[in-house]
């Protein structure tokens, strides 16, 4: 979702191939041995297969919403995103999918993830966004993971003392931009007609 968000807000149209990970097409495996999504394949054969790298590539070409941080903040922005990927997502995966991990205690991982979210909520309590007065790269790179956490047990999430976090998440997931990238596409099959991903940039706001 975060790769699609950046592609959409930057106005970068592409052919979209929806993939069911339980039935990975040979073309995906050939393009990226890591065999997960997203994968951005260029006509010259170049491949970007990390979602944050796709975000930075798209925004590097066009950043009308000014998501990319200014140089003084860049290190902080990348640091919090990396911490989300390394720390929060570790616990999120084991909370949401305990059956995938041996001897995983989902409630223990929920508690650990909640500690991380409490710090995030405290940071949001000031301006409402992670770095400044409007949404930026950190907000949009982290929010899809927080959304997954919130949806795992919505009642529990709603009962936590995180008003700033819920307001922040709601502002993102109810935006026209987020809605535009949540459209459901049929699974891609070799030989199928191309599906062009090109949201209407003029009407997309957070």
* Alpha-carbon torsion angle 21, 25, 26, 31, nearest 10: -70
Give the position of tokens 């922040």.
168
pLDDT score at 98:
93
Q: Is pLDDT of 200 > 70?
A: no
Note whether 199 and 5 are within 8 A (CB).
Answer: no
Q: Is the pTM of this model over 0.95?
A: no
- Both tokens assigned to 4: 């699609």
Residues 84-89: what's their mean pLDDT? 98
pLDDT tens, 10-46? 999 999 999 988 888 899 999 998 888 999 999 999 9
Residues 100-113: what's their mean pLDDT? 94
Q: Is pLDDT of 204 > 80?
A: no
Average pLDDT of every residue of the chain: 93
Q: Is pLDDT of 191 > 70?
A: yes
Distance set, CA 66 to CA 1, 6, 10, 205 (Å): 19, 11, 10, 12
Q: Is pLDDT of 201 > 70?
A: no
If DSSP codes are grouped into helix, strand and coil, which group holds residue 44?
coil
Q: Is pLDDT of 178 > 90?
A: yes
d(CA 192, CA 187): 10
d(CA 139, CA 2): 10
Q: How confident is the model at residue 4 (pLDDT cuts 50, 70, 90)?
A: very high
- Both tokens assigned to 171: 């502002």
pLDDT score at 136:
97
pLDDT score at 122:
95
- Both tokens assigned to 197: 């991903």
d(CA 105, CA 64): 43
**Which domains, ranges and CATH numbers included, belong to the chain?**
2-65+183-200 (3.40.30.10), 71-178 (1.20.1050.10)
What's the residue count for the chain? Answer: 206
């Amino acid at each position: 979702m975060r790769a699609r968000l950046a592609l959409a807000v930057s106005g970068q149209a592409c052919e979209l191939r929806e993939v069911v990970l339980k039935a990975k097409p040979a073309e995906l495996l050939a393009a990226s041995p890591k065999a997960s999504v997203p994968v951005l394949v260029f006509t010259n054969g170049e491949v970007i297969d990390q979602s944050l790298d796709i975000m930075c590539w798209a925004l590097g070409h066009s950043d009308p919403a000014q998501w990319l941080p200014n140089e003084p903040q860049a290190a902080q922005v990348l640091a919090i995103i990396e911490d989300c990927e390394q720390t929060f997502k570790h616990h999120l995966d084991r909370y949401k999918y305990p059956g995938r991990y041996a001897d995983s205690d989902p409630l223990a991982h929920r508690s650990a993830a909640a500690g991380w979210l409490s710090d995030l909520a405290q940071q949001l309590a000031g301006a409402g966004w992670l770095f400044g007065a409007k949404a930026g790269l950190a907000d949009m790179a982290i929010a899809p993971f927080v959304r997954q956490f919130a949806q795992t047990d919505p009642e529990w999430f709603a009962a936590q003392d995180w008003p700033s976090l819920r307001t922040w998440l709601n502002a993102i997931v109810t935006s026209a931009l987020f809605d535009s990238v949540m459209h459901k596409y049929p699974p891609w099959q070799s030989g199928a007609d191309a599906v062009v991903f090109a949201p209407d940039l003029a009407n997309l706001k957070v």
